[in-house]
Structures are given as C-alpha cells and as structure tokens.
Amino acid sequence: MSIDSIAIVNPNSKGGQTGKNWDSVKEILEKYFGNDLEYVFTEKSGDGTILAREYLKKGYDNIIPIGGDGIINEVSNGFFSDSNGDKLNKIDLMEVEYDKILALTEIEQIKSDSTLTVLPGGTRNVLVRSLGLPQDFEECCKYLANSTKTQMIDVIGSVLRGNAENISGNKFRIFLNAAEIGLGAEIIERGKMIRDQISSRILSTITGIVATLPIYKSNVCQIIEGSITDKKIVNNLTTNMTMGMVSNGSYLGGGFQVATKAEATDGLLDTVVIKNSDSFKILQKLVSIKKGEEAINDEDDIYYGQSQTVSWLTDFQNNITVSLDGEPTGILPAFFRIHPKFLRIKM
C-alpha cells in the first residue's frame, strides 16, 4: 500500500481494547498493508471527521478507520465538505419546501479519487456485515490488502434536530449503514450512558434493553417518501411508530437483518416502520422480519418502503431519538436523502 494511506485510530473502541492491544493491532496492519502505513489517533468525538478532511486535503488517497462503526462514520463524513451547515441550522424541518431541502443537502467530495477502507475493528461491525466483508479483523485485512477492487456505494445525507441538550438547531450528517429511530435508538443511547460506567458493551446493551423496553411509548409520526428524480412526494404515511429505520445496509446494531431488500449500490433508501407495538412483542416482530419478505409485507404491523428521500416528522417535544450508524445523534424531525454511488470503498 502506498505512502498516501493513513489509518485513523480510535484507541477507545472495543471498550478501550484497541488502545490496550495497539501493538498487536499494528502488527496485523503492517503485516498486510506494509510498514509505510501512517497512523494518527483520535482523542475525542468528532476527531475522525476533522482528521479525514485534513489528510484528504493533503493529498492522501486512502483512509483506513480503525475502530467500530462510530469512527467509520466520523471518517466517512470527512470525505465531504460541510458547506451548508449554517443554512440548514435555520430551517424548519416541519415546513421546509422540498426543492429547498434538496438544494441544501447536496454534498461535495473533497477528493473524488479517494478510497475508504472499512475494517471490523469494533464490537459489532455492522457496516462490515452489511457490505459482506470478512468479520474477523485479520481475515478482513488480508482480504482487502490483496484486493484490487473498489466500489462506489451510496451515501445517505441526513438533517435532524439537535439532541435534547441542544434543541435550538439542526445538524447535517452523512451515514453509510442505517439510521435507527425510536425504540432502537433509545436502547443505543441508554446503553451508551451505561457504558460510561462499565466497559462491557454487551452488558451495557442488555441493561439498556431491560431499562427501555417496559417503559417505551409509541409516538405519532408522519413519514413522507419522495423522488429526487421527479421532485415530488410518492407516499405519505401517518402512524403510531414504535421503531423505525432508514437504511443503506441491511443490518441493525442488534444483528437483525431488518432491511432485507437493501443494497448499498441501488440508489434507494429502505424505510422500515414497526407500528404501534407492545414493548416486548417488538422483539418477536424483529425476528419475524429476519425470516423473510412475507413478514415484511404485512403492513398491519410493519411498513417497508423504498424511495430516494424520506422525511420523518413529529413534534420535537416528543424527543424521539435518532441514531446514525450506531451513535445517538439527535431527535426527530429529520430529513434523509440518498446520494447514489458517492463514496469509493475498498472491496
């Protein structure tokens, strides 16, 4: 691998194991990618985006995030300029005109011939699974180091309300795998808070599920699917939503293959809505989705749609959490759009 490759490392990933075991991780990387691979370490949330932009502007061709889905998301955001942040911050997501939101969510690549190399360096590695890459770290390093293939995949742009501590404006963020909305995102957020006290991700997730399921309440949401090609609305659904996702990949963080029709290169968003459900019956529904399309098409319980854009509208006071690529990011209302084949990845 050329000297124009750099690994952006989150030492806190995998419950801090990446930093503690860095010598062995580095040994594997050098075994397959060569001794000339450069490294830089993140210190806080958001560093991955800043560093990726910095090194792409310096001319680096290949960026390798080392860590979980969170650092992959941060680094992937760094592949694009952030030019409309101020304008997006001021719009009303409940009232904005369709043409205006489309114009404001256009993105520009910093270096069009650059490549993102995705490795399974975290605990769940959901994106790796959705892309069909090897889930073992060394096996994936070996596979990608020997591969000469790259592929352009779709990118999802999102605009959503800031979290409960910052509800005065919107934020723009791209993601590669899935946005989880409602119950799933709430479990992720609670699990993350618990993980600040205990290092085990599995234990914190289980605790988050136990703490969230019995008390979570559904909320009324309006889901509006649109077409970028025709610049018009193609479907409008109002329902009592318990859990939803807007997806580019097929897997959720819990390992459920919910968006069973999703492909990262088809130019479509996959929207899944689990409607007003008893807190514990929702688990049964997730298992049913995993079984195949017969369950997906039962619209009494579950809605499955495909479109180029989708808005999720609700009163922000409902405080419905949205998680992007496994990280709690904000709350509804939110707007999502596809950017077809907009990021090159190593395959």
Check residue 1 and give its pLDDT. Answer: 44
pLDDT in tens, 92-122: 999 999 999 999 999 999 999 999 999 999 9
* CA–CA distance, 180 with 259 (Å, rounded to integer): 11
Check residue 255 and give its pLDDT. Answer: 72
List Cα–Cα distances, 175 to 153, 206, 337, 343, in angstroms: 11, 25, 11, 11
pLDDT in tens, 242-257: 889 999 999 987 677 8
Check residue 100 and give its pLDDT. Answer: 94
Tell me the β-bridge partners of 138: none
Closest by CA to 125, choosing from 10, 245, 253, is: 253
* 227 within 8 A of 98, measured Cβ to Cβ: no
The better pLDDT of the pair 281, 273 is held by 273
Check residue 42 and give its pLDDT. Answer: 98
Check residue 186 and give its pLDDT. Answer: 61
pLDDT band with cut points at 50, 70 and 90 for residue 2: very low
Q: Same topology for domains 5-79+114-148 and 155-341, yes or no?
A: no
Q: Which segment of 45-49, 219-223, 297-301 scores lowest on mean pLDDT?
A: 297-301
Q: Kindly report the CA angle at 319 between 313 and 320, in degrees rounded to 5?
A: 60
In the chain, which residue ranges form alpha helices assigned H by DSSP?
17-20, 22-33, 47-57, 69-77, 85-89, 98-104, 126-131, 137-145, 183-195, 201-212, 281-291, 293-296
* CA–CA distance, 127 with 176 (Å, rounded to integer): 7
Identify the CATH number of the domain defined by range 155-341.
Answer: 2.60.200.40
* CA–CA distance, 118 with 71 (Å, rounded to integer): 10
What token pair was written down for 114? 């650059």
DSSP state of 261: T
Q: Which segment of 147-151, 214-218, 343-347 scores lowest on mean pLDDT?
A: 214-218
Domain ranges within the chain, ordered by starting residue:
5-79+114-148, 155-341
The phi and psi torsions of 161 (rounded to 5 degrees) equal -70, 145
List Cα–Cα distances, 8 to 38, 41, 226, in angstroms: 9, 6, 36
Q: Is the dihedral of CA 149, 337, 262, 277 positive or negative?
A: positive
The better pLDDT of the pair 258, 215 is held by 258
**DSSP-derived pairing of the beta strands 302-307 and 269-275:** antiparallel
* CA–CA distance, 148 with 143 (Å, rounded to integer): 10
- The residue-averaged pLDDT of 47-56 equals 97
The better pLDDT of the pair 297, 133 is held by 133
Closest by CA to 208, choosing from 225, 232, 192, 231, is: 192
pLDDT in tens, 281-329: 666 666 666 555 555 655 577 899 999 999 999 988 888 989 999 898 9
* CA–CA distance, 283 with 29 (Å, rounded to integer): 38
* CA–CA distance, 237 with 221 (Å, rounded to integer): 8
DSSP strands (E only) in the chain: 5-9, 38-41, 62-66, 115-116, 150-161, 170-175, 178-182, 219-227, 232-247, 269-275, 302-307, 309-313, 321-324, 327-346
Check residue 216 and give its pLDDT. Answer: 65
- Kindly indicate whether the domain formed by 5-79+114-148 is annotated with CATH number 3.40.50.10330: yes
Burial of 314 (0-12, 13-18, 19+ CB in 10 A): buried
pLDDT in tens, 63-73: 999 999 999 99
* CA–CA distance, 323 with 305 (Å, rounded to integer): 19
* 19 within 8 A of 12, measured Cβ to Cβ: yes
pLDDT in tens, 159-184: 999 865 545 689 999 999 999 998 76
pLDDT in tens, 192-218: 555 555 555 555 554 555 455 555 678
Q: What percent of the chain has pLDDT over 90?
A: 66
